[in-house]
Amino acid sequence: MLTTTAKPEADPSSSAGRPRSASTHGAEGIYLDHAATAPLDPSIAAAMNAVASQHFGNPSSRHALGLAAERQLRQARAQIARRLGLVDGTVVFTSGATEALAIAILGSGRARRQPGHVLVSAVEHAAVRENALLLARDGHEVEEIPVDADGRIQQRELLARLRPETFLVCVMHANNEVGVVQPIGRVARAVKRERPRCRILVDMVQSFGVLDTDVAASGVDMVAVSAHKLHGPKGVGALGLAPGVSLPPLWAGGGQEHGLRAGTENVAGAVGFGLAAEAGKGDPERFIAFGERLLAAVREVLPDARALVDPRHRAPHILAVT
């Protein structure tokens, strides 16, 4: 199986393109692993360098430099919240999506006084699966939601597994390996009809900046996103919480990030993430056209090659070929 996540070469006349980095198309070939990480946008790197040198104060400090850093952090938080449709919700900066998922999963378990039940789709990232298994050590039961041949959750299979004690359902929006997209809005509405208090956690790492990620409209409770998939910096992620959703912290020591993630914030990284979120990953239509050309080129060498996932159910920037 060949999985590609190439970014279309930027059209110099198009504002939708980004400056092309040497790491995407150079002496070593064409980079086709954007689902793992994307090269840092030079303009974002420059903005981060400026913040690191000019706004180096601790955002918790009440002097001028600290207040200036706090303003930078607040602006970045607002940029991400707008992209997520969470202007009335909460955005918590983390070291990456893995940490964001851990805070959501383990925090949801810690909030319960009695053992409960967790549902995890069969196509989740290890960051979800393995943190869910940590809940099992605390007495919670973790159950897998099966998927069909395309990797999509079947709603009837999900609903059949809901129990009175089910407190968390974990569903990835766009899969990082084959690109299958789950109908998260439909899933959330179906679960809430049966179990209104059950929380829905969505890994939006691959879909953020490409697909519609309006959290408030979808009915999802918690989402995890990451900067470095969007040509932002590594080591920066965020946990988005819908209005009214709260979690206990996993550790203490400063009260930063709405009390959920103690420790001095990475202001330059947050600014880079905010800029990347505002720019987005690219035009979905251009990704689709590029994928079609790429698949046609593969078929010139391997005539029987086919896309693993129906284009109607696939993220436009991820193509898995078999």
User: In this predicted model, what pLDDT tens digit does every residue of 25-63 receive, in sequence order?
Assistant: 555 788 989 999 999 999 999 999 999 999 999 999 999
For residues 2 and 36, give the distance between their C-alpha atoms in angstroms, rounded to a whole number: 14
Return the number of other C-beta atoms located less than 10 Å from residue 85's C-beta. Answer: 19
Specify whether the CB–CB gap between 15 and 26 falls below 8 A. Answer: no
Q: How far is Cα 246 from Cα 105, in angstroms, rounded to an integer?
A: 12
Torsion of CA 309, 23, 277, 4, to 10 degrees: 0
Domains (ranges, CATH) in the chain?
A: 48-278 (3.40.640.10)
Query: Cα–Cα distance between 239 and 256 in angstroms, integer?
Result: 14
Task: Give the Å distances, CA to CA, from 164 to 129, 167, 244, 310.
Answer: 22, 8, 21, 35
In this structure, of 21-25, 60-64, 176-180, 286-290, the range with the lowest mean pLDDT score is 21-25
Which has more confidence, 170 or 149? 170
Quote the pLDDT of residue 213: 82
- Least Cα distance to 182 among 203, 161, 156 occurs for 203
Read off the pLDDT of residues 261-283 as tens digits, 9 standing for 90 and up: 999 999 999 999 999 999 998 88
Question: pTM for the complete prediction?
Answer: 0.91
